[in-house]
Amino acid sequence: MTVPGTRTEATAQPAWAWEEAEWRRHVERVRAGRSLKPSRWPGGAKAAVALSFDPDHETIPLRDGQVLPGKLAQGEYGARVGVPRILRLLERRSLPATFFMPAVCALLRPDEARGYTERGHEVAIHGWIHERNMELAYEDERDLAFRCADTLEQITGQRPVGIRTPSWDFSEHTLGISRDLGLSYDSSLMADDDPYEILSYGEPTGLVEIPPEWIRDDAVYFNMDRYTAVRPYTVPRQVLGLWRDEFDAAYAEGGLFELTMHPHVIGHRSRMVVLDELLDHIAGHHDIWYATHAQVAEHVRQPSALPAEAPGR
Ligand SMILES: [Zn+2]
């Protein structure tokens, strides 16, 4: 049985039998370099807030070949109900956001994709049909990534500059493909709370990582599997407390608070309350810079934004 996340060109030997060169090679393939936590955020802001929404809609069941209307309707809710609610909330508060959108979703609803960029939000790559890149051959993963970038550009008129891989999976080829695409940043890796540079075999790649985390993802708290006895549903207001603590610590450290949400998850009534109250809490703080992921990447890659002595960790 193949354990998810283990598909590499690794030998058939168990890990405990690997030579040092082998385990070093796996670790060095994609690694965190310098911290890119800036000494100051634009406008003298103390901390940055980067909101993101992944409009996956129907692609979550579709990518697993689930094509029956029941499952698809749960995703359709995201487009029909979640997205309009989210856009109204962002507009009311004049906040920017990044929408990581599977190409199939953009093709199903081009007006939705265009609506994001027309409102000043960012649209970035999130797979073709939310495929699991770790299960793909190199040629397929590369082809889908380029088709996704081309599709989003054709529909929105803007070439994406960032990627969040579906489900944050990351194959041995993903970084190279993102470099070939000429992207500015990735938002799939979790080696820090704040932005950092991505290295490959010790060399800078030019790509900035805007790290997400499952802690700051709505899906893990609210999704449930009807067929298992364990239903890890979290009371929405408990999630509010958790995310508030994440923000408070980011603010105290002068860092980045990045949040990942999904219209078909956070878009429900009892959960939008949580997002609204969280944004109230954040708004009660001075000197916050609200930005898209692309804007964060653009800022932190400027040498003048970094501390005189790169902290490194
Ligand atoms: Zn997704």
pLDDT digits (tens, 9 = 90+) for 256-289: 999 999 999 999 999 999 999 999 999 999 999 9
Count Cβ atoms below 10 Å from residue 69 Cβ, excluding itself: 7
- Distance (angstroms) between ligand 1 centre and the Cα of 2 equals 22
Average pLDDT, the chain: 93
pLDDT in tens, 193-240: 999 999 999 999 999 999 999 999 999 999 877 777 666 678 899 999
- Distance (angstroms) between ligand 1 centre and the Cα of 87 equals 18
pLDDT in tens, 107-155: 999 999 999 999 999 999 999 999 999 999 999 999 999 999 999 999 9
Burial of 194-233, coded b for 16+ CB within 10 Å and e otherwise, reads bbbbbbbeeeebebbbbbbeeebbbbebbeeeeeeeeeee
- Distance (angstroms) between ligand 1 centre and the Cα of 11 equals 31
Phi-psi region for residue 290, left (φ > 0), alpha (ψ -120 to 50) or beta? Answer: beta
- Distance (angstroms) between ligand 1 centre and the Cα of 145 equals 14
- Distance (angstroms) between ligand 1 centre and the Cα of 16 equals 34
**CA–CA separation, 148 and 183 (whole Å):** 13
- Distance (angstroms) between ligand 1 centre and the Cα of 165 equals 8
Predicted TM-score of the model (pTM): 0.94
Q: What pLDDT sits at residue 3?
A: 45
The whole-number average pLDDT for the span 88-100 is 98
- Distance (angstroms) between ligand 1 centre and the Cα of 195 equals 21
- Distance (angstroms) between ligand 1 centre and the Cα of 276 equals 22
- Distance (angstroms) between ligand 1 centre and the Cα of 57 equals 9
- Distance (angstroms) between ligand 1 centre and the Cα of 39 equals 32
- Distance (angstroms) between ligand 1 centre and the Cα of 148 equals 14
Element (H, E) at 53: strand 47-53
- Distance (angstroms) between ligand 1 centre and the Cα of 60 equals 7
**CA–CA separation, 126 and 132 (whole Å):** 11
- Distance (angstroms) between ligand 1 centre and the Cα of 54 equals 5
- Distance (angstroms) between ligand 1 centre and the Cα of 189 equals 14
Residue 52 reports pLDDT greater than 70: yes
Coil, strand or helix at 290: strand
Domain architecture of the chain: domains with CATH: 29-305 (3.20.20.370)
- Distance (angstroms) between ligand 1 centre and the Cα of 312 equals 31
Enter the DSSP assignment of 2: P
